[in-house]
Amino acid sequence: MEICLITGTSTGIGHATALHLARLGYKVYASMRNAAKAGPLRERAAAENLPLVIETLDVSDNQSMLSCVQRIIAAEGRIDVLVNNAGLSSSSPIETYPEDEHRAMFEANYWGPVKLTQAVLPSMCAHGRGAIVNISSLVGRLAWANQGAYCASKFAVIGFTQSLAHELAEHKINVNAVCPGTTLTERTGYIAAALNEQDAPTQDATQTMVGSLAEQTPLGRVAEPEDVARTVAFLASAESDYTTGVALLVAGGIQM
């Protein structure tokens, strides 16, 4: 049984991916910053008798990440698949974006995946195999107004992913990034709520961005978390031979 660690599983893409991989037979360590939010995931896993364990992990806390990885390796001996999903998002013009919030965005969205990957790699390299899937974003490939900090952090994830993929190819560790467009998660709701607090020009720009991202998918619809989960499962599996790819999530498949 493959051992998988996923971050940010309390809701949305992480929640869907944890369930999907567990249904495929992975033993999933589903981590989240606040375990008090684990109820729905724990209940669904129990109802389906899925091999899923809830873990506490804060991607902005180095010790939290190290401790989680150590617990899993102590129990299982290895981690075969790492899915770096947890992160922050916001919508605000760069001109008025508070520096502390900008730095917090990079701490969670970029440094979190980097530090957690560094913690997992010794085990993967020792076993000579593994898969790392980073959740970036379509706006990590094509930036939009009022998303500057988020876009920059997701661009950084893609650069990190591609460089790491080249470094780890000789170890037979596949490293990929998935770049979802607009996806129906709680995060989408947060952006919509933020729009209500912005002036009219900013609202118009953000609404245009969201609509355009949806239109860029071949089926022209907003993605569901399960669409992302299926893409992650493919890239984590032996069926995938991508080692340096960045997958653009589309409704009904992926484009590389």
Tens digit of each residue's pLDDT (9 = 90 or more) over 210-222: 555 555 554 456 6
Please indicate, yes or no, if residue 38 is contained in any of the structural domains.
yes
Tens digit of each residue's pLDDT (9 = 90 or more) over 96-154: 889 999 999 999 999 999 999 999 999 999 999 999 999 998 888 888 888 889 999 99
pLDDT at 178 over 70: yes
Tell me which residues are annotated as active site: 150
- Find, among 45, 38, 159, 151, the residue nearest to 102 by Cα: 151
User: What is the C-alpha separation between 120 and 80, in angstroms, rounded?
Assistant: 9
| Higher-confidence position of 160 and 251 | 160
- Find, among 249, 251, 178, the residue nearest to 220 by Cα: 251
pLDDT at 147: 85
Share of the chain above pLDDT 90, in %: 63
Please indicate, yes or no, if residue 253 is contained in any of the structural domains.
no
| Higher-confidence position of 239 and 162 | 162
- Tokens 């907003």, located at residue: 222
Please indicate, yes or no, if residue 44 is contained in any of the structural domains.
yes
Please indicate, yes or no, if residue 7 is contained in any of the structural domains.
yes
Distances 101 to 70, 72, 109, 156 between C-alpha atoms, Å: 30, 31, 12, 17
pLDDT at 27: 98
Give 183's contacts (C-beta < 8 A, 6+ positions apart). 12, 13, 222, 223, 224, 225, 227, 228, 249
Beta carbons of 191 and 210 less than 8 angstroms apart: yes
Tens digit of each residue's pLDDT (9 = 90 or more) over 199-243: 555 545 545 555 555 555 544 566 788 989 999 999 999 887 665
Distances 40 to 3, 34, 113, 203, 235 between C-alpha atoms, Å: 22, 13, 25, 33, 26
Show the DSSP H helices in 77-108 as ranges.
99-106
First to last CA, the chain: 28
The total number of structural domains that make up the chain: 1
pLDDT at 77 over 70: yes
Please indicate, yes or no, if residue 254 is contained in any of the structural domains.
no
The residue range of the domain holding 215 is 3-246
pLDDT at 212: 53
Please indicate, yes or no, if residue 252 is contained in any of the structural domains.
no
Tens digit of each residue's pLDDT (9 = 90 or more) over 82-100: 999 999 988 888 888 899 9
Q: CATH number for the domain including 238?
A: 3.40.50.720
Give Cα 184 distance to the centre of its chain: 14
Distances 188 to 23, 164, 183, 222 between C-alpha atoms, Å: 26, 29, 7, 11
User: What is the C-alpha separation between 202 and 195, in angstroms, rounded?
Assistant: 8
Show the DSSP H helices in the chain as ranges.
12-23, 39-47, 62-76, 99-106, 112-127, 148-168, 186-195, 200-215, 225-236
Please indicate, yes or no, if residue 233 is contained in any of the structural domains.
yes
pLDDT at 190 over 70: no
Please indicate, yes or no, if residue 255 is contained in any of the structural domains.
no
- Find, among 185, 17, 158, the residue nearest to 85 by Cα: 17
User: What is the C-alpha separation between 174 and 146, in angstroms, rounded?
Assistant: 33
Q: How confident is the model at residue 247 (pLDDT cuts 50, 70, 90)?
A: low
